Amino acid sequence: MTIDEASEKYKIPIHILKEYESWGLCGAVKSVMGHWQYDEEDIERLGIIMTLHDIGFSNDEVEQYMRLLLSGKNTEDERMKMLMALRNQALDEIHVRQKKLDRLDYLRYEMRQGGK
């Protein structure tokens, strides 16, 4: 499947596909008559890449994670550390937002009570 076909079929932006190709992680991707050809394994990897982008990994972090993933099972601890760091960051953001909501709700409560 070509880059255009993969992009259209799996709704993966072309820039993500080109980024993937530039990392040299496309084990089974072949250039045939000037066109990249993706197999199912590449599509699975791209699914992981899209997920990593969606959860907030930077391009560099995605590349690092994928290189670790392709290095084998012995990299699970390092990959888990990356995921836990992002999870902790997300939890911190949730807590900050919860405090904002609490303050907002307090002001609304005060207003309804005839206060400020």
Kind plus residue range of the DSSP H or E element containing 32: strand 30-32
Q: Please provide the average confidence, as pLDDT, over all residues in the chain.
A: 86
Helix axes of 59-71 and 14-23: crossing angle, nearest 10 degrees: 50
Q: With bands split at pLDDT 50, 70 and 90, how would you rate the model's confidence at 115?
A: low
Give yes or no for a contact between 23 and 56, defined as CB atoms under 8 angstroms apart.
no
- What are the pLDDT digits (tens) for 59-104? 899 989 998 998 888 999 999 999 999 999 999 999 999 999 999 9
Q: Select from 55, 71, 62 the least CA-distant residue to 16.
A: 62
Whether this prediction's pTM lies above 0.85 is answered by no
Helix H or strand E encompassing 67:
helix 59-71
